[in-house]
Amino acid sequence: MGVEELKTELQGLNTIEKLRYLADKFAGRIIFSTSFGWEDQAITHLIFSNDIPIKVFTLETGRLFPETYYVWNRTLEVYNKPIHAYYPQNELSQEMVNTKGPNSFYESVENRKECCYIRKIEPLKRALKGNEIWITGIRAEQSANREDMHDLEWDEGNQLIKFHPIFDWTLDDVKSYIKENNIVYNTLHDKGFPSIGCAPCTRAVQPGEDFRAGRWWWEDQSKKECGLHATEAEGVKAEG
């Protein structure tokens, strides 16, 4: 089924109805990726609290914040449903660290992208294999390169359809939903971290800075991508 046809079938449905419809139509071939940030916790609640049969997974890079692990564990306790972890391949990560050290990503964009590939991109490929729908927490207002995206789109690189169920939500919408539903969230958000990735590559954002200024802050703004998300028009774009 093509993206445009699917868009037509989803017209008029609310967020939960869209998730249910996709879970039924693509049973066993639909997956949601969470990094335990605000947006992903909201979507996890939508899926788990409504018993929608969508597999939830996360990329365990080995460099996450302690606060992220806390949210992960509390989410398991609250919903009593599995979150599948995908790890980097031992051989690849060991070779990188043995050859270049544990913090090589600070030394060059190439080294940082290599680390992103080993810890995130390659495990993501394994997680997505065999699926037809990939659900993400992308929102339009998160960065300029996402304003031209749509809530339903074809991912050429991964050869599947991506659905962003809260694409049109504002950050205030997300925060309100979390508060109203008493959803556990990462307390780093309260300390100036709008986007939370690997601990060595994420810092708090200062007032007036761009949403993604805290990611790979030592790099040129135009290079701040890791390849998790892509658009046909602009090449590789990342949520990270």
Catalytic residues: 226
- N- to C-terminal Cα distance for the chain? 28
> Which DSSP category does 167 fall into?
T
Question: What residue ranges in the chain does DSSP mark as E strands?
Answer: 30-33, 55-59, 84-86, 133-135, 152-155, 160-163, 229-231, 235-237
**Binding residue per annotation — 115?**
yes
Residue 153, classed as helix, strand or coil, is strand
d(CA 149, CA 114): 26
Question: Where on the phi/psi map is residue 28: left (φ > 0), alpha (ψ -120 to 50), or beta?
Answer: left
The burial class, CB within 10 Å (0-12 / 13-18 / 19+), for 221 is: exposed
Amino acid letter, 36: F
Residue 240, marked binder = no
User: Which residues lie closer than 8 Å to 48 by C-beta, 6 or more apart?
Assistant: 56, 79, 81
Binding residues for [4Fe-4S] cluster: 115-116, 198, 201
Binding residues: 115-116, 198, 201
